[in-house]
Structure 1
Amino acid sequence: MLFSSLEASSPMAAILVAVLACIACALILQTLVRTGLAWRLATDIPNERSLHERPTPRVGGWGIVPVAVVALLATAPSMWLVAAAAVFLAAVSQIDDRRGLPARVRFAAHLVAVVVVIAAHPADVPWWALAVVGFLMLWLVNLYNFMDGSDGLAGGMAFFGFAGYALAALAGPAPDAGLGLASAAIAGAAAGFLTLNFHPARIFLGDAGSIPVGFLAGAFGYWGWQHGVWPVWFPALVFSPFIADASVTLLRRLARGERFWQAHREHYYQRMVRSGIGHARTALVWYLLMLAGIILANRALRFSFIGQWGAVAGWAVVVLAAGAVVDARWRRHEARHSEQS
């Protein structure tokens, strides 16, 4: 047992793990920044699609991933393959951060990580259901990367999302102490990253951070479903703002015949920043939306089957309505901009 004086499933154990992870991650990242090593590892150079104006290190993964992997091996050793896959993705993504890699190489790495985990730990469902879940995990890996473009956003989503996992795994109807403590550790590491990433950001997450974190969000979601900790809808509801933004934006770009993998500034969060809301307030709005979804998701675990899916459907309406509000604001912003020009 990790702690001799605390029950592994107790709230105090989870809080302690989260605090230690937060401190460790923050210290690693502050050291990288203060020594100047952060700029040599990977630096984001602004372009016409960026929401930022000055070069900024992309080293968040160097703090979050080591802390997450160590915590995962210490609290849930049966998930060692998930930890190994996260390290593999971090290594490939660091090369991409430094030198750039073709999209097909990046996608192949993502596919290998997801397939290996599912093949080693197959759920007792038809093969086509596993294929669908694998596709959704792949999408979560990539959408996390797409959504890493505004101060405090991806880090905040990691904090709230994994905290939601921890709450369900420790206090839900089917507890899993290892999964809960590992989730708490990642939430804590994300909080440590936010000390340097909330507006004005001194560092960004980078591919070496966003890709492994997205993978862990999907892998933990799959693990919890496979082991009966939560239903299949739970991870999707927890990360619903991220999933909705990236998915709707992708469908719009595909409908226009655009290359969806290329960088752009059409995500809802990007339009919020560009329309005058700003990085800090955009992040806070997203935090509130995600927190509400997480509270609903954890309460819905105790609903009947029909009640659970009713909650999912109702929340989908709320998220789509929030998107409609952003669309309306963006149209007004474009109209004013056209009048001024």
Structure 2
Amino acid sequence: MMGMLAVLAAFAASWLTLGGLLKRRHVLPMDHPNARSLHATPTPRIGGLGIMAGVIVAGLWLADAALLPILLGATALAGLSLADDVRGLPVYVRFLAHFVAAAACLLTLGLSGWSLLAGTLAVVWMTNLYNFMDGADGLAGGMAVIGFGALALAAWLGDAPVLAAFCAAPAAAALAFLRFNFPPARLFMGDAGSIPLGFMAATLGILGARQGVWPWAFPLIVFSPFIVDATATLARRASRGEKVWRAHRSHYYQRVVLLGASHRQLAVAAWGLMLAMAALGFLLRSFPQQATALLILSAAIYLLIFFAIDRRWRLARNEV
């Protein structure tokens, strides 16, 4: 019962915070359209404050010794990212903070040696790729609802009610955010939302795996729509000698919009893919002996999707 109340509080805190922010739209930092963006009108980019308000309200209620470092790390990164949204920070400052937060959190979870190094790199990558994928209305918010919702359900089925409620908090807060971000968006998430959400996706995934709540591959499959697109895009750009840290419009989800799909159509299609991957994740959780086959199946799905988008992209460029 307490867990349910905390989740409802997360939804309410996010909704009220975002509604209050929009009433002061004229003083909010704006995301102005440029050659690398997909939107056409200036839009406030501070919606992550609402999401984190919900997470913090629920987290202070729920966090135990294992969850508190995750809450503190996410909150610290949200504060740093808010400063970046408002004033802009050097890249090295942001990355250093990501590494420190990831390593400190994983140390408290008991990782050491090579596991700590690999885990830190994974958390930093997930932290940043979530930000990379926050570029279309409803996309990152929908992934938060579905991804963290899947973690919450898996934790509940795994008899970990506190972890379940904590995972449900960002899902509930992101659901409230979608009220303002569903195409056409009135509010963007910004770094203050995407950075801590990526951090929590990674650290909660590691925590659940270490506690035996789900297999290691479960959170990877659940969040794979973001992981695969961002990783494949980075690899493709690096192979071409491009400066991978610069803003661009070459993610597969961005190409879908550039090929003529609306933000609404992209969001609905992406949510369908996310739900399908979550379903595969639960199959893996129930039948771990079939993990290899399910991972191959998910990889085949992505290869088919990427092949179709690449083919249409080449045809469109040839037509021009």
Q: Per the shorter chain, which TM-score range?
A: over 0.9
Equivalence for 2:69: 81
Does residue 312 of structure 2 align to residue 329 of structure 1? Answer: yes
Equivalence for 1:42: 29
Q: How does 1:170-181 map to 2 (within 5 A)?
A: 170-171=156-157, 174-181=158-165
Q: How does 1:26-175 map to 2 (within 5 A)?
A: 26-36=15-25, 39-78=26-65, 79-123=67-111, 127-171=113-157, 174-175=158-159
**1:250 aligned residue (215, 234, 241):** 234
CA distance in 2, matches of 1:101, 1:218: 23
* Partners of 2:10 and 2:172 within 8 A in 1: yes
Amino acid in structure 2 at the alignment position of 1:326:
I
Amino acid in structure 1 at the alignment position of 2:181:
N
The offset of 1:35, in angstroms, is 3.0
Amino acid in structure 1 at the alignment position of 2:210:
Q
Q: The residue matched to 2:259 in structure 1 has which SS? A: helix
Q: The residue matched to 1:245 in structure 2 has which SS? A: helix
CA change 1:320–1:175 in 2 (3 A) is farther
Does residue 9 of structure 2 align to residue 23 of structure 1? Answer: no
Q: Deviation per CA, 1:4-51: give whole Å up to 9, x if none.
A: xxxx5xxxx3xx554442232122101110233xx4242111111111
CA change 1:229–1:47 in 2 (3 A) is same
The offset of 1:212, in angstroms, is 0.6
CA change 1:200–1:301 in 2 (3 A) is same
Q: Deviation per CA, 1:62-95: give whole Å up to 9, x if none.
A: 1001211221231232211111111110111111
* Partners of 1:42 and 1:58 within 8 A in 2: yes
CA distance in 2, matches of 1:226, 1:165: 14
- Paired positions, count: 319
Q: Deviation per CA, 1:179-207: give whole Å up to 9, x if none.
A: 10111111110010000001000000001
The percent of aligned pairs where both chains have the same amino acid is 44
TM-score by length of 1: 0.90
The offset of 1:136, in angstroms, is 1.2
RMSD, matched Cα: 1.5
CA distance in 1, matches of 2:288, 2:52: 37
CA distance in 2, matches of 1:180, 1:304: 21
Structure 2 gap segments, 5+ residues each: none
* Partners of 2:82 and 2:192 within 8 A in 1: yes
Does residue 198 of structure 2 align to residue 214 of structure 1? Answer: yes
The offset of 1:251, in angstroms, is 0.4
Q: How does 1:279-290 map to 2 (within 5 A)?
A: 279-290=263-274
Structure 1 gap segments, 5+ residues each: none
Equivalence for 1:319: 302
TM-score by length of 2: 0.96
**Displaced runs of 4 or more, over 6 A:** none
Q: How does 1:222-301 map to 2 (within 5 A)?
A: 222-301=206-285
